[in-house]
């Protein structure tokens, strides 16, 4: 593929500003095209003409999982590995992601990597990327678009399976506790609504829930994958419901918030507590929380997607076909396991 010409547009933009200001005293934004403005803000100087220029549009920095996912991409898409990475953190706003993609298009990157905050609302901007001839690789969360040719492929977790796995774990755990026939009251802290992780985990756990007539889902509410919001919603649940046996937290950080709320309310949770805490992600912090007896089980969601996406790009560069959907391997962990030993080997 023709490599990017060495482009240093920042200097050009400054010269344009200086010339314009000489003539009118002040540059009116209207005098510069959107492209000139954008380029001026994002001077792109690709030192190595052979570098593969990649624009990565990240969700935000809302959780431990997200930080590990960002680190995986930053550690993979390096100059040493033959890349020039343009990283955009969308601060959990879809409109910022759409702006970032348009910016990548203007900068004529070689590939766009998108981790979409939510599944819908992507058809227009992905059409623009397709018209610009820039392949889009979707990572982690998924997009729902009418024309799936708008993206090259997706790589990430089977969120539905994660949810089912958690439900099946709970059924086994209750059986071991001799509580199979008991009325079980459950609340759920959901992730960001319409995100693939929320949709899949809610649906997957819901399928197992429907197989147990004695399980009662009192309420589901989003904690937006953050610890603060997770704590706030759990406080509300504890105020509303006298009897809660299980809280399903659709990520670790909401689980940590739920534990804070439970303990502040004078209740107990985890290994020997009266509220079972189920979490998703299984970051190192979740292992520590299980070792501290605060949560019962963590369902793994692998954030280390950088190398997988790089492999896809290398195969595309060689003109190879890539599978449209690529799942990562995942498992779960609970307090019956040698978590101390496992924690030593965790890299996130
Ligand atoms: C899951 C990922 C989710 C994590 C959260 O693949 O999209 O977003 O479960 C993160 O921790 O915020």
Is residue 62 in contact with ligand 1, taking CB distance under 6 Å? yes
Average pLDDT, the chain: 90
- The pLDDT value recorded for residue 47 is 63
Secondary structure class of 112 (helix, strand, coil): strand
pLDDT at 28 over 50: no
Share of the chain above pLDDT 70, in %: 86
Of all atoms in ligand 1, which is nearest to the CA of residue 65?
A: 11
The finding on whether 201 has its CB within 6 A of some atom of ligand 1 is: no
Has residue 53 got a pLDDT over 90? yes
- The sign of the dihedral angle between the CA atoms of 259, 265, 271, 276 is negative
List alpha helices for the chain, DSSP H: 9-24, 34-41, 64-76, 94-106, 123-131, 159-176, 196-209, 227-240, 252-264, 284-291, 306-317, 339-345
Residue 19 pLDDT exceeds 60 = no
Q: How far is the CA of 168 from the centre of ligand 1 (A)?
A: 21
Gap from CA of 200 to ligand 1 centroid (Å): 11
Tokens, residue 10:
């920042």
Average pLDDT of 151-180? 98
Residue 7 has pLDDT above 90, yes or no: no
Note the pLDDT of residue 50. 87
pLDDT at residue 4 greater than cutoff 60: no
Q: Is the pLDDT of residue 291 over 50?
A: yes
Q: How far is the CA of 34 from the centre of ligand 1 (A)?
A: 33
Q: Is the pLDDT assigned to residue 102 strictly greater than 50?
A: yes
The answer to whether the CB of 63 is under 6 A from ligand 1 is: yes
pLDDT at 243 > cutoff 50:
yes
192 lines ligand 1 (CB under 6 A): no
Nearest to 107 by CA among 49, 199, 39, 40: 39
Give percent above pLDDT 90 in the chain. Answer: 84
Confidence of residue 25 (pLDDT cuts 50, 70, 90): very low
Do 270 and 246 meet the contact criterion of CB atoms below 8 Å apart? no
CA of 141 to the centre of ligand 1 (A): 8
* Ligand 1 center to 119 CA (angstroms): 13
Strands 184-190 and 297-300: unpaired
Segment 29-42 mean pLDDT: 43
Nearest-atom number in ligand 1 for the CA of 197 is: 1
Average pLDDT over every residue of 255-265: 98
70 lines ligand 1 (CB under 6 A): no
Which pLDDT does position 49 carry in this prediction? Answer: 73
User: How far is residue 167 CA from its own chain's centroid?
Assistant: 22
Residue 157 CB less than 6 A away from ligand 1: yes
Quote the tokens at residue 262: 């439970």
* 17: confidence class by pLDDT, cuts 50, 70, 90: very low
Find the 224 Cα to ligand 1 centroid distance in Å.
Answer: 10
Is residue 139 in contact with ligand 1, taking CB distance under 6 Å? no
Residue 234 to residues 105, 216, 270, Cα–Cα distance (Å): 42, 17, 15
């Amino acid at each position: 593929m023709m490599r990017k010409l060495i482009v240093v547009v920042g200097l050009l933009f400054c010269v344009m500003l200086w010339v314009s200001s000489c003539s009118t005293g002040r540059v009116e934004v209207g005098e510069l095209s959107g492209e000139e403005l954008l380029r001026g803000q994002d001077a792109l100087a690709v030192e190595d003409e052979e570098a593969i220029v990649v624009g990565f549009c990240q969700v935000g920095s809302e959780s431990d999982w997200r930080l590990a996912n960002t680190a995986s991409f930053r550690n993979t898409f390096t100059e040493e590995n033959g890349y020039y990475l343009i990283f955009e953190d969308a601060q959990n706003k879809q409109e910022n992601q759409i702006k970032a993609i348009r910016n990548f298009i203007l900068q004529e990157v070689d590939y766009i990597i998108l981790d979409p905050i939510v599944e819908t609302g992507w058809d227009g901007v992905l059409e623009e990327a397709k018209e610009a001839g820039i392949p889009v690789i979707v990572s982690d969360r998924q997009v729902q678009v009418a024309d799936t040719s708008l993206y090259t492929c997706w790589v990430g977790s089977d969120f539905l399976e994660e949810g089912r796995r958690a439900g099946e774990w709970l059924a086994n755990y209750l059986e071991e506790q001799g509580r199979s026939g008991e009325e079980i009251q459950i609340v759920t802290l959901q992730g960001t609504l319409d995100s693939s992780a929320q949709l899949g985990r809610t649906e997957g756990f819901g399928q197992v829930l429907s197989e147990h007539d004695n399980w009662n889902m009192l309420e589901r509410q989003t904690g937006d994958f953050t610890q603060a919001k997770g704590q706030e919603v759990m406080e509300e649940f504890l105020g509303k419901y006298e009897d809660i046996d299980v809280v399903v937290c659709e990520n670790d950080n909401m689980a940590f918030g739920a534990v804070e709320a439970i303990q502040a309310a004078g209740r107990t949770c985890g290994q020997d507590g009266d509220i079972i805490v189920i979490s998703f992600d299984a970051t190192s912090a979740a292992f520590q929380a299980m070792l501290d007896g605060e949560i019962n089980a963590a369902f793994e969601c692998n954030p280390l997607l950088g190398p997988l996406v790089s492999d896809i790009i290398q195969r595309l560069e060689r003109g190879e076909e890539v599978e449209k959907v690529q799942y990562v391997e995942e498992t779960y962990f609970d307090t019956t396991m040698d978590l101390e030993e496992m924690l030593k080997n965790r890299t996130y």
